[in-house]
């Protein structure tokens, strides 16, 4: 999975790309997370919500939302000269799920971003990664004013076992998002090498 090669002194540096998918329900904060942590201006494919979409987009709990991702969000983080992390945020509405297979292709792991006000929006993403055996973690986006639940309560509501890591985060906060990404990379590495991890 090499991106390119650069000659530095006598040694050849070959950056390795690492792909992570950020998925979840409509309005869970995926675009915000990619934007918070990306070192580049993220690529966004957001469009305004329209009257036509009002009949299919459930805005209960997110009434202030005015835009939606229609293709993907893309960001990048350079971990070190050898490792570049690429972030792909999925669209949340079910009418755009046909794109998820392409976005997830080659990913080492995924983040399922959860909004506790709308837990039902998380089930499709969990099912998607479970069926494809892509390692994923649950990241509960702690929205202002939302009710706080324990990790066990969220885990029970989502019907995920202890093998799936669960973290609390704030998608607006760079350090919080970095911790989630470290969590998914560590989880993916354990799944790839369960003995050495």
* 6-192 to CATH, choices 3.65.10.10, 3.40.50.300, 3.30.413.10, 3.30.70.1560: 3.40.50.300
Cα–Cα distance for residue pair 2/181, rounded to 1 Å:
20
SS3 content of the chain, % helix, strand, coil (to 5): 35, 30, 35
The model's pTM is: 0.78
C-beta separation of 179 from 169 below 8 A: yes
> Cα(173)–Cα(118) distance, rounded to whole angstroms?
21
Report the C-alpha gap between 123 and 119 in whole angstroms.
Answer: 8
At residue 103, φ and ψ (nearest 5 deg) are -65, -35
- How much is the mean pLDDT over the chain? 79
What residue ranges do the domains of the chain occupy?
A: 6-192
For the segment 98-117, the average pLDDT, to the nearest whole number, is: 87
Confidence band for 158, pLDDT divided at 50, 70 and 90: very high
CA distance 186 to 36: 21
Reduced to 3 states, what is the DSSP secondary structure of residue 189? helix
Structure tokens at 135: 């390692």
Per-residue pLDDT at 62 exceeds 60: no
The percent of residues above 90 in pLDDT, for the chain, comes to: 42
**Residue 167's CB: how many other CB atoms inside 10 A?**
16
Strand partners, 136: 110
Q: Residue 187 pLDDT > 90, yes or no?
A: yes
**pLDDT tops 50 at residue 1:** no
Closest CA to 139 of 58, 44, 57, 20: 20
Neighbours of 117 (CB within 10 A): 17
pLDDT at residue number 43 = 72
Percent of the chain at pLDDT > 70 equals: 71
Q: Give residue-wise pLDDT tens across range 9-58.
A: 556 555 588 999 999 988 888 889 999 999 988 776 555 545 555 555 55
In this predicted structure, the answer to whether residue 96 has a pLDDT above a threshold of 80 is no
149 pLDDT higher than 60: yes
* Each residue's pLDDT tens digit, 125-135: 999 999 999 99
């Amino acid at each position: 999975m090499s991106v390119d090669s650069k000659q530095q002194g006598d040694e050849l540096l070959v950056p390795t790309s690492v792909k992570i998918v950020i998925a979840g329900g409509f309005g869970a904060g995926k675009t915000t997370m990619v934007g918070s942590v990306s070192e580049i201006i993220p690529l966004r494919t957001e469009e305004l919500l329209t009257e036509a979409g009002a009949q299919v987009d459930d805005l209960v709990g997110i009434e202030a939302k005015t835009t939606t991702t229609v293709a993907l969000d893309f960001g990048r983080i350079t971990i070190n000269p050898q490792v570049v992390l690429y972030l792909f945020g999925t669209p949340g509405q079910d009418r755009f799920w046909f794109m998820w297979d392409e976005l997830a292709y080659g990913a080492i792991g995924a983040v399922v971003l959860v909004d506790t006000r709308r837990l039902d929006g998380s089930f499709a993403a969990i099912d998607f990664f479970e069926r494809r055996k892509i390692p994923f973690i649950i990241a509960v986006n702690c929205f202002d004013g939302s009710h706080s639940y324990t990790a066990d309560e969220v885990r029970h509501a989502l019907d995920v076992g202890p093998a799936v890591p669960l973290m609390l985060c704030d998608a607006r906060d760079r350090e919080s998002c970095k911790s989630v990404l470290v969590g998914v990379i560590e989880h993916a590495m354990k799944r790839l090498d369960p003995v050495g991890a």
